[in-house]
Every structure is written in structure tokens, then in C-alpha cells.
């Protein structure tokens, strides 16, 4: 079975209602044993023109580290805006994983210069002052969400690699805070 790549179908459907700024939002680190949840929000414009330039972008979990690094540069060069939000481990402990996830999403969206509508990977979300739509497995359906998953992963992996220098015993440079057979 051939993998179907994400498209701008959802973004174009929303734009039929008028010219608005749409952000794709996704997070990484939700299943990690250490480190923050990192969310990213990405805004693209001129979807039809960008489609060939963003070919191959898909869920960050299906890409190698090298591919993510390459796409990270491409995404940032063509995005009109992007931002990151984090929920720190103490916030995860205090509020729970679901609430911390939403907190990271909100922080990423708040970091954007302008956003009228958000396409969010996941089942549910609350607290965004504008319109939004949740898409289960959104990173496999929307290029904007897939792009957010990629830049969030590259950003978080970089954070964990820096933490490795301080806490070498945990081997964050290789496991990025996720459980492994070594644990």
C-alpha cells in the first residue's frame, strides 16, 4: 500500500470561506519520559504555489533525522510565520499531560504574529480565541500540520541534545528523553 502524503486540502477548504490566516499546529514529546512537550505553529500562504516546493513533507515520525533537518530549513524558508510553545515537566506534573499539551499549543499560537484559524493535530482542543479544527492524525492529512510536527521535533531534539551535555548519564543525545530498551 502506497503512503499518501498530506495536502493543503483542509487549508483550501477553509479559505473558501474568505481570506484568513491559517496555522497548522502539532506537538512532540508527549510520550517522553524527560523534557518538555514542544508545540509548533506554522503559517503558509500561496498554497498552490508552495505545493511543489514542500513535496515530501509528512509526519515527522516517518522521517529520518537528516530528512527532518533538511525539511526544517525548507519549511522555515517558505513559512510566512512560525512559533514554538513549550510545557515544561513541572507543568506536565502539575496539570496533567492533556492540559500541558493544550498549554504548549496555546503558547505556540500566541507566538504567531497573526492567526485567524488553527488546524490542530489531535482529538480536541480548547481555549483558542479564533476558529479551529482538530484532525486526528492531522500530520498525515495537512501539510501545515506535518510541517509543524517537523519543526517541533527538530527544536525539541536540539533542546534534548543540549541537556545531554549537562546530564550525560541519561543519554539524551540519543534517546531525546524517550524510553528505550536501555532503560
Is 26 one of the annotated binding-site residues? yes
The 10 Å CB-count burial string (b at 16+, else e) for 75-110 is beebbebbbbbbbebebbeeeeeeebbbbbbbbbbe
User: Whole-angstrom Cα distance, residue 102 to residue 84?
Assistant: 13
Is 139 one of the annotated binding-site residues? no
Please choose, from the candidates 131, 106, 108, the residue with its C-alpha nearest in 3D space to the C-alpha of residue 119: 131
Please choose, from the candidates 105, 116, 129, the residue with its C-alpha nearest in 3D space to the C-alpha of residue 27: 105
Put residue 177 in one of left, alpha, beta given phi > 0 → left and psi -120 to 50 → alpha.
left
pLDDT band per the 50, 70, 90 thresholds, residue 18:
confident
**pLDDT per position as a tens digit, 83-133:** 999 999 899 999 999 999 999 999 999 999 999 999 999 988 777 778 899
User: Whole-angstrom Cα distance, residue 130 to residue 3?
Assistant: 33
Structural domain boundaries in the chain: 9-151
User: Whole-angstrom Cα distance, residue 133 to residue 161?
Assistant: 33
**pLDDT per position as a tens digit, 42-81:** 999 988 888 888 999 999 999 999 999 999 999 999 999 9
Its pTM stands at: 0.91
CATH number of the domain located at residue range(s) 9-151 in this protein: 3.30.420.10
User: Whole-angstrom Cα distance, residue 80 to residue 42?
Assistant: 8
Is 45 one of the annotated binding-site residues? no
Amino acid at each position: 500500500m502506497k503512503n499518501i502524503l498530506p495536502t493543503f486540502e483542509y487549508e483550501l477548504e477553509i479559505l473558501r470561506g474568505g481570506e484568513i490566516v491559517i496555522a497548522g499546529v502539532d506537538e512532540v514529546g508527549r510520550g517522553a519520559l524527560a523534557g518538555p512537550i514542544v508545540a509548533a505553529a506554522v503559517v503558509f500562504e500561496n498554497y498552490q504555489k508552495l505545493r511543489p516546493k514542500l513535496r515530501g513533507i509528512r509526519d515527522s515520525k516517518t522521517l529520518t533525522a537528516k530528512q527532518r533537518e533538511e525539511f526544517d530549513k525548507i519549511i522555515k524558508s517558505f513559512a510566512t510565520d512560525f512559533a514554538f510553545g513549550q510545557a515544561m515537566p513541572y507543568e506536565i506534573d502539575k496539570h496533567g499531560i492533556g492540559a500541558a499539551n493544550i498549554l504548549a499549543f496555546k503558547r505556540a499560537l500566541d507566538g504567531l504574529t497573526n492567526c485567524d484559524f488553527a488546524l490542530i493535530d489531535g482529538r480536541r482542543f480548547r481555549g483558542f480565541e479564533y476558529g479551529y479544527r482538530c484532525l486526528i492524525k492531522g500530520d498525515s492529512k495537512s501539510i501545515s500540520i506535518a510541517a509543524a510536527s517537523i519543526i517541533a521535533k527538530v527544536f525539541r531534539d536540539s533542546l534534548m541534545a543540549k541537556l545531554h551535555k549537562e546530564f550525560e548519564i541519561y543519554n539524551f543525545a540519543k534517546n531525546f528523553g524517550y524510553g528505550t530498551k536501555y532503560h
